[in-house]
Structure 1
């Protein structure tokens, strides 16, 4: 099977998982949540602090904070991937789709309401595999562009769902007691580990392992 098509089909398969994760922001900071959950928990903590500061700046009749109903990291990922897929499909249709006035199930309606990300990913997968449609086959430059979009989109999705190993340096406000920056690594089912880049201390979900 075409690698690009496989990646796009995987995106479509994982999209419901992203949708589910969108409404489940982390509420506690714990390494046991996994790398994605731990970073999301830190994000939620920062959001809460920012909301509290904004509340102090408001007039009395505006006081009060509203909870963040979604996981912002997941939402940003979904928006970026959906936009990339939709734009790619629109470009391909505009350049390759035959000018037919009759409806056809394989046509891309690029002038109306955008399709969902999963549907768009599957439509692009069919184009990558050369499945018959009322349009010309993709050119080599189009195939290369689609391959890049598929690879980058899947990377984003897998990272958001903690399916890929990753490393990230935390912001200064989450520094070690010595003042050094903390590096978090984990994901893909591995236990997240934190390490101070200055003093060398490192932690797991069980606490400080070495200092």
Structure 2
């Protein structure tokens, strides 16, 4: 979303989370906020969270490797708590107290098929990302990428979406986890921990 203006004919056009897919002379913008099972037409060709292999297949190897490849990462423990609340918001669970929420979270981590995002950043086993924007350092990292690529930072929008802070009610991320769920996240998201030096255990500080 932050880089969308540079792929648009109008740099000053407002950026919203829900958009249809578009292709123009300035670039390609994938659709956002449409369930994958409901995607049709151009929206079914270009959508958020596409794998590197899917993008390469559509643009070709020469174009794929001619452009800088940028992705975002986030502390996996925090990311999974956020995902839990996002699923609840989508009507995929409910709870009346924190014990019920923690039970749902444990089932999500241990038994549900949540994404590890490897297919987005690896291609044929090779890590193919040039620039990484860390969620925890969003503004600074985006500024660094813009400076490196020579982008005018006046148009670098930072829309605020998917905020699950209120739903957490001040609970520390560590309170959602137990040894089994910590081990599962550490193992499945090993590529993030190894490359970006995130702590091996979830944050014990209360959410603000």
TM-score higher than 0.5 here?
no
Larger radius of gyration: 1
Task: Choose between structure 1 and 2: higher helix proportion.
Answer: 1
